Structure 1
Amino acid sequence: MVGTEHRARTRRARTAAALLTATGLFAAGCTGHGTPVPADDGRGHIRTAPPDTSEPSGKAHRPSVLAVKIDNVRAARPQTGLDSADVVYAEQVEGGLSRLMAVYATKLPKAVGPVRSARESDLELLRQFEDPTLAFSGAQGKLMPLINRAPLTARTPEQASGAYFRGTDKAIPHNLYLRPKRLVPDTPGAAALTTGFRYGPAPAGGTPDTSETVRYPAARFGFTWSQSRKRWLVSMDGAPDVTADGKRLAPATVVVQYVKVRKSAFHDFLGNNSPYTVTVGSGRAKVLRDGRAFDVHWKRAKAAEGTEFTTADGSPVNFAEGQVWVVFAKAS
């Protein structure tokens, strides 16, 4: 979608090399080699990789997208800074609950959170961006080597303590927040959103639709069209979803993307398997915009590429200008 052909070739080559490294390290992690590090265990013990005080090579003056893993259980709401994200991804995690990943490219709020732990699926999802920065609070011990070798800049509270703080509004572990500008002082702009998304007039057809619900085993997303605001109002578990300053979360476009959700090689501290959301491949999706629903096809051929959305005749699907929510739902 953006960048020169040379940049695209370079990114694909770097990603391929990183994938080879990560594959070998994954095998080592599963057999107990390396240095396992306990995850954010739900009791507020944020223990991740050893602190890295060095400046990432070549990134000191190169802005990149910032991706933040955000808590989405009841105790974590209302969240902070979510309305400033360009893209919000929703995925299923342990116990049938949900977690969000907010991606920032055009503006940074003063604070974002609550910040929580990363998942294996995040690495595949983030490979579509060039040198993204991932802010998270921890991860399952054997997953940390994969994160550290992935083509991204990982920044946890131990690695960037000055960028995080504990709020007083919620109980641990739901009160960890990030000051984004202390990680990425500058925004890269919309050109860095290499998601494959297109913006413009709505495609032909579609059906009138003012309300959609996406259910996980233990979580529920609701989207209601507001004609006056020209936005989809978000609800979580049947309640209006607002930010900490009382603003209703209201994306311009919502994508319900049906994907394969399988078991991963990792578990949480209770022994629950971490679901793996597969975002490379193809399948069906529903695009909500302008009070209408469009049944479309999605395709992402490689991890280093964005996702294309097309109509039945193969025409690209445009999204409405503004924030996009992508909710990954298990394909039937």
Structure 2
Amino acid sequence: MLGDTTSPPPTGTTRGARITPRLLASLAVVGALATGTAATSWAGETAPPGDSAPAEATSPFTGLPAEPAPVLAVKIDNHKGARPQTALEDANIVFVEKVEGGLSRLLGLYSSKLPAAVGPVRSAREYNIEQLRMFDRPALAYSGARADVVDMINASPLYGVSHEDFPDDYFRGTDHEAPHNLYGYPDKILGEAPEASPSDDIGFRFGDEAPAGGTPTADRAVNYGAATTSFSWSAEEDRWLASFDDAPAMSSDGDRLGGKTIVVQKVAMPPDSGGETPYEETVGTGSATVLRDGQAYETVWDRPTAEAGTTFTRADGEPMAFDRGQVWVVYEEAK
């Protein structure tokens, strides 16, 4: 649970009040009601021919109802001392990334719903710049990075909103020990990026029914050496339940984390320009295993340029239809 903050509380709270996950959830609901957005939403379908009423907009990131909204990417700590994370369950997409020492870090992509607070927030990496260009010009929330990486972020089209440059957009909680206790206020962070790009097509395709040709699968794990991310199919919950290092991945509210669609995307991971951190090469083409509805599908991913989205194509040449809901993308080193 998040404890007392060392900076002003979110709008609508009493100064000095204890910020708990339950309070954060309440604030998020109030914010959704005030803005007319739902907890999950999406973008861009048109009305069928002859229909006078337009179809409900759906998110290009989850396939669920939602209007286009600014995109916020948050670098989230996944060290054992940072768990459980806050508001990871509210992300449209969760990326799992390998960092130095064989550890993992997370990148939460938010648009349909902005939680009251999110974190713990940690440092950015060089590959995040190219990775995030498929969202055009999103805001990137992070805390710390190598000096040359900070320069690259500032010179890129991304809106870098770091803790160092915008300390009032962040606060320290009392739930974890430093440095695993820094949280961001998404609304304040996006306020520093008033022209952040709205949600738009990034290549994902969604369908209510699972396509033919899948292989029944109960579990899938990706091991980075010092960190393992795994997923188990739950027919009861109709989703994949996530685990970190063989322990159930939980939210700070006590709920199990997991997604409707899991993408294990094989990418090259050469050293970055600093020589120590793996550089996830997300531009190019390669193989990917897509998990949905208790089945695994072998696909080919393709992203021709940094500005392009990533498509996933089945062996029969048809686009892979994701299930509607939160998507997890786990990068696995291509052998």
TM-score by length of 1: 0.77
Check conservation: 1:135, 1:155, Cα contact below 8 A. Answer: yes
> Which residue does the alignment assign to 2:266?
258
Q: What is the CA-CA distance between 1:258 and the residue it aligns to?
A: 0.5
> Which residue does the alignment assign to 1:90?
96
| Paired letter, 2:177 | A
Deviates more, 1:246-255 or 1:153-162: 153-162
1:136 aligns with 2:142: yes
- Across the aligned residues of Structure 1 and Structure 2, the Cα RMSD in angstroms comes to 2.1
The 3-state SS of whatever aligns with 2:273 is strand
Q: Please show how residues 55-66 of structure 1 align to structure 2 within 5 Å.
A: 64-66=70-72
Check conservation: 2:206, 2:321, Cα contact below 8 A. Answer: yes
Gap regions ≥5 residues in structure 1? 4-61, 268-272
Match among 230, 233, 242 for residue 225 of structure 1? 233
How many angstroms apart in 1 are the aligned matches of 2:171 and 2:310? Answer: 34
> Which residue does the alignment assign to 2:152?
146
Check conservation: 2:91, 2:108, Cα contact below 8 A. Answer: yes
Once the two structures are superposed, residues 196-240 of structure 1 have per-residue CA deviations (whole angstroms, 9 ceiling, x without a partner) of 111113221111111111111111011001111111000000000
| Paired letter, 1:96 | G
1:303 aligns with 2:311: no
1:278 aligns with 2:297: no
The 3-state SS of whatever aligns with 2:202 is coil
Aligned residues: 268
Q: Cα–Cα, structure 1 residues 310 and 68, in superposed 2: closer, same or farther, change >3 Å?
A: same
Q: What is the CA-CA distance between 1:142 and the residue it aligns to?
A: 1.4
Match among 284, 289, 293 for residue 290 of structure 1? 293
How many angstroms apart in 1 are the aligned matches of 2:120 and 2:242? Answer: 18
> Which residue does the alignment assign to 2:210?
202
Q: Please show how residues 33-182 of structure 1 align to structure 2 within 5 Å.
A: 64-182=70-188
How many angstroms apart in 2 are the aligned matches of 1:191 and 1:321? Answer: 20
> Which residue does the alignment assign to 1:42?
none
TM-score by length of 2: 0.77
The 3-state SS of whatever aligns with 1:127 is helix
Q: Please show how residues 5-16 of structure 1 align to structure 2 within 5 Å.
A: none
| Paired letter, 2:214 | G
Q: What is the CA-CA distance between 1:187 and the residue it aligns to?
A: 11
Q: What is the CA-CA distance between 1:137 and the residue it aligns to?
A: 0.2
The 3-state SS of whatever aligns with 1:276 is coil
Match among 192, 205, 208 for residue 199 of structure 2? 192
The 3-state SS of whatever aligns with 2:257 is coil
| Paired letter, 1:78 | P
The 3-state SS of whatever aligns with 1:264 is coil
Check conservation: 2:82, 2:180, Cα contact below 8 A. Answer: yes
The 3-state SS of whatever aligns with 1:309 is strand
Q: What is the CA-CA distance between 1:159 and the residue it aligns to?
A: 2.3
Check conservation: 1:105, 1:187, Cα contact below 8 A. Answer: no
Q: What is the CA-CA distance between 1:193 and the residue it aligns to?
A: 4.2
| Paired letter, 2:154 | N
> Which residue does the alignment assign to 1:237?
245
Q: What is the CA-CA distance between 1:117 and the residue it aligns to?
A: 0.3
| Paired letter, 2:159 | T
Q: What is the CA-CA distance between 1:63 and the residue it aligns to?
A: 5.1
| Paired letter, 1:137 | S
How many angstroms apart in 2 are the aligned matches of 1:184 and 1:143? Answer: 21
After superposing on structure 2, the runs of 4+ consecutive aligned residues of structure 1 that deviate more than 2 Å are 184-188
The 3-state SS of whatever aligns with 1:265 is coil
How many angstroms apart in 1 are the aligned matches of 2:212 and 2:69? Answer: 37
| Paired letter, 2:321 | N
How many angstroms apart in 2 are the aligned matches of 1:119 and 1:174? Answer: 17
| Paired letter, 2:134 | Q
